[in-house]
Amino acid sequence: MTSKYTVTVLGLGAMGLPMATRLASQLTVHGFDIAEPRLQLAAEAGITTFSTAQAAAKGADAVLLAVRNSQQLTEVLFGENGVAPVLDQGSVVILTSTVGTGAIPATVERLAEYGVELVDAPLSGGPVRAGGGDLLVVVGATPSAREQAAPVLDLLASTLSIVGDKPGDGQALKTVNQLLCGVHIAAAAEALALADALGLDQAKTLSALEAGAAGSFMLSNRGPRILEAYTTGGAEVLSRLDIFVKDMGIVGKAARAAGLAAPVAAAAEQLYLLGQAQGLAASDDSAVIKVVAPTRRHAG
């Protein structure tokens, strides 16, 4: 693993920038984002930035995509200014976003025309863990593609789970992961709203719940932020609420395609959709508590 290996990060947002910064500790990193402030932050972090995605991607050993959805995936690779035509044969595209399995087969087929493989590697862990190389990364890719992407994946992941030899396997597992995450956040919000409605101190309730059988990673991670939802400006936005609108939509679509009922996931999805409709789309996902309890009843 040396600085001679070049990775281009396209999308320098909440996750893309800390990943790029982490990679720059040992690799040569090129970066591009449509937002000029993100480019400035990347440059300050030692990342070589470019004015176009194509310029950033040319000559890279790997291109890491931190995009929002399948539409952006297609646009970045194959749109009018898409990067696929400038990629070197033998390079790989590492997809770190949750976009669902539907867009993967066509993406693989079109990249193959350029001699490029797709590494389906959605990840979980949040911006802080991204900057420390402490992410869970689930990978679906051929052995050759995984080998080419190894310098990137090894730097980002504390837990690297190879779930299959074909792209799409990673998206499938991440879909299952997001079902649980989305439900757990919604359940934590409902529980703390109920605690308030019953006259309990929410912070003390959270501490007690964490110590017992009801504890979970999402309760501990989102719980303090849920309690900040009512403060001026709300909790710091580490994961937007509308990301779970997207992800729970992916979960529902996958369940329907499989002929599987997922009533708990569907109920959680409705909470996120209501939050989006109420103007909370750009708020931290912990703000979902305000859907069931728009105001706090008791001081805490």
Q: Name the residues annotated as catalytic.
A: 174
Q: Output the 3-class SS for the chain.
A: CCCCCEEEEECCCCCHHHHHHHHCCCCEEEEECCCHHHHHHHHHCCCEECCCHHHHHCCCCEEEECCCCHHHHHHHHHCCCCCHHHCCCCCEEEECCCCCCCCHHHHHHHHHCCCCEEEECCEECCHHHHHCCCEEEEEECCHHHHHHHHHHHHHHEEEEEEEECCCCHHHHHHHHHHHHHHHHHHHHHHHHHHHHHCCCCHHHHHHHHHCCCCCCHHHHHHHHHHHCCCCCCCCCCCCEHHHHHHHHHHHHHHHHHCCCCCHHHHHHHHHHHHHHHCCCCCCEHHHHHHHHCCCCCCCC
d(CA 82, CA 171): 22
Cβ neighbour number for residue 31 with a 10 Å cutoff: 30
d(CA 62, CA 117): 10
Nearest to 133 by CA among 157, 109, 116, 149: 157
d(CA 187, CA 170): 26
CA 59 to chain centre: 26
